[in-house]
Structure 1
Amino acid sequence: MPASGRRARGEVQSRTEQQIIEAAWCYFKDDMSQADIAARLGLSRSTVVNYLALARARGYVRVSLHPEIFRQREIAEELKRKFALKDALVVPGQPDDPAADLLRVARAAADWLPELLTAGDRLGVSWGETVYHISTEVEAIAIPGLDIVQLVGSRATPLGFAAETCSANLATAFSANCINLHAPLLVQSSDLAEMLRREPVIAAQLDAIRTCNKVLFAAGSVGSDSHVVRSGVVSEATLAAYQARGAAAVICGRFIDRDGNPIPGEIDARIIGTTIDEMRGKELGLLAAAGADKTEPTRAALRAGFTTHLVTCSEIAAGLLADD
């Protein structure tokens, strides 16, 4: 449906832009044909077509597919039964274009997320490329009394998917209160981490994490090109040690095995952020996963028991339903 324009308040709209907005309203809201719009506005049909394209390009119109279409698909129902999910959303994958595949999943999750939130919720938000794209694709919808909480500390990364950016983007879109975690994700020693956790400001932010009733997260892979390696959270040597102990996924900077059990390690005491145990027991645990290489991390996250809702691509869904 038409969204409000991004023009500054008080700026005069040109006649052409008024017609673009009117054409978009008639087409998407009033369900008028392009021919009828052309007659109403005194334009050619080709001009109406161009105006509708401009309305979408300028962000005046957001067209989304209703999640119910995908939730009713048999594969989603099978995922719900197999992993005891409340709901699942499967979108057609694009295996030949990983970037497009990820963006398709992110957009589906972004369209679905507002339906899963209610006034007064406290949503914990993790980090990473998938969560970042969800935060940029979500529609601006005000949700009264909503808190958006950063689940893990900050980490300078060349990838551009900082945790505070993800939470801030969602807070802006939902006109929500943003509670960032003003501490590094990983510090040099466990003693320093403990001191920071006792700082009153950080302690209050960690308490906000514990009281989240809903969480949005992604499952990271444990390959040499994984997010935690490229971001410098762990070295390749440390990653190899976790792999030797059966690591299958990374959740909020912490490793779990293929059955979803935490794999304790020395970095756990140096991480400032949510724990695997704190992820459990939420009203909503929304996991978004794209790309066939994320099949095993997704399976591990599902077995961990804190996912209630899943958004994924058809390749991952097929892999999850295949025999182990």
Structure 2
Amino acid sequence: MMTEHAKKSDARRSLHQDSVLANTAILYYKEGLTQNEIALRLGVSRPTVINYLRLAREQNIVDIRINGASFAVSNTSRDLRAKFNLADVYIASLTPEGDPADVAYKAQINREVAQVGAMALHDVLQPGELVGIAWGETIYHLANEAPYRIIEDLTVCQLIGSMTTPLVSTAEGCAISLASRLGAECHTLHAPAILTSAKLAEALRGEPVISEQLERLKTIDRSIFSVGNCDSDTPIVQSAITSKEEFDWYREKGAVGVLCGRFIDRAGTHIEGPMDERMIGIDLSYLKDRANGLLVAGGPAKFDAITATLNGGYVSHLVTDEQTAQALLEI
């Protein structure tokens, strides 16, 4: 008779196999990699890749439909890698209906791009890495869509302090959720993202526990983040994380995006301003020094912010939608 432990072990093995098969299918059918390229990436033989693809079809993990647009997506991915000097680009083939300015339209893009980003995690993350994760609607969906699959000796860190808002899950919630799905150790950041005064923020940074956590963020191997735009409906304003006066000040200075709580201009340069001294979280200079970030973002509303983040040199891997990918090639 099979014990409860044996049943759980079998279930974990089944989840692991499904994740491997799905990841292999995405690389082959969606990203256009050859079987040899996939074998090198996964560290297996070409016959193993062939077997993975066969099992994916037999177990209905992949439903093959020949669509000419899929080949364009593959070419677009390769062209974007070359244009922005990226390690990889993952493109969600989605065609949402409605007004691009509509909340439901934006939410659909965020969710579908996040789903592709979740699948990309097991292609991007490596055993033993220290990974920082940011905050926001897209990152929340990514963390909760990530397949259950252990990555050995992985550590997940919260990149920015806690934020309480009914619009988006907490920053620590994103870190905890992702870590639990990857079997990783998790380090949250025990402080608010934004304080009422620079003096209070400075005092908290000096606390031993928080100081240690911030020092750890300087050594991350990889980061996972989205980027917000600088429209009036951006969560950083809707959640009262910044005042309208501060927000307008940053926009007057040329801000087009919000990256890990910091404002950036079209070149991706951090605009230092009234919020920075009151914030507790990673400094963008450390993201830029590593230049090893997974950017998960899409949609017309975020186009300028995505472009700025790519220009700033923070990104090694991009997950976006097909329309945004095509637009990026045209600039």
Give the TM-score category using the shorter length. 0.7 to 0.9
1:82 paired residue number: 83
Secondary structure at the aligned position of 1:159 is classed as coil
Higher Cα radius of gyration: 1
1:310, 1:274 → 2: CA distance? 20
Q: Does 1:189 align with 2:213?
A: no
Higher helix share: 2
Asked if structure 1 preserves the Cα contact closer than 8 Å seen for 2:159 and 2:189, the reply is yes
Q: Which range moves more in the overlay, 230-239 or 152-161?
A: 230-239
Task: Tell me the CA shift for residue 255 of structure 1.
Answer: 0.3
Cα deviation for residue 231 of structure 1 reads 1.7
> What is the CA–CA distance in structure 1 between the aligned matches of 2:203 and 2:164, rounded to whole Å?
21
Q: Secondary structure at the match of 2:128?
A: coil
Residue aligning to 1:71: 31
Per-residue CA distance 1:34-53 (angstroms, 9 max, x = gap): xxxxxxxxxxxxxxxxxxxx
After superposition, the CA RMSD in angstroms is 2.4
2:198–2:278 Cα contact (<8 Å) kept:
yes
The answer as to whether partners of 1:146 and 1:176 remain within 8 angstroms in 2 is yes
Partner of 2:308 in structure 1? 300
Deviation at 1:9, TM superposition (A): 4.6
Residue of structure 2 aligned with 1:167, choices 175, 188, 203: 175
Cα offset, 1:273, TM superposition: 0.3
Aligned residues between the structures: 273
Task: State how far apart, in whole Å, the 1-side matches of 2:217 and 2:248 are.
Answer: 30
TM-score by length of 2: 0.77
Given candidates 230, 233, 241, the residue that maps to 1:233 is 241
In structure 2, list runs of 5 or more residues that go unmatched. 33-73, 98-104
Q: Which residue of 1 aligns with 2:143?
A: 135
Against the structure 1 CA distance between its residues 202 and 74, is the aligned structure 2 distance closer, same or farther, given a 3 Å change threshold?
same
Q: Does 1:320 align with 2:280?
A: no
Q: Give the unaligned 5+ runs of structure 1.
A: 1-7, 13-20, 30-58
Quote the offset at 1:165 in angstroms.
Answer: 0.7
- Whether the 8 Å contact between 1:124 and 1:149 is mirrored in structure 2 is yes
The CA distance in 2 between the partners of 1:240 and 1:247, in whole Å, is: 9
1:152-186 deviation per Cα after TM superposition (whole angstroms, max 9, x unaligned): 00011111321101100011001111000000000
**More divergent stretch after superposition (299-308 vs 81-90):** 81-90
Q: Secondary structure at the match of 2:111?
A: helix
Pairing of 1:97-176 with structure 2 (within 5 A): 97-176=105-184
**Matched residues, percent identical?**
35
| Offset, 1:237 | 2.3
- Whichever residue aligns with residue 259 of structure 2, its letter is I
Q: Is the 8 A contact 1:105 1:288 kept in 2?
A: yes
Instruction: Pick the aligned partner of 1:259 from 261, 267, 270.
Output: 267
One-letter amino acid matched to 1:178: C
1:106-144 superposed Cα distances (whole Å, 9 cap, x missing partner)? 111101101212221000000000111000000111112
* 8 Å contact kept, 2:140–2:169: yes
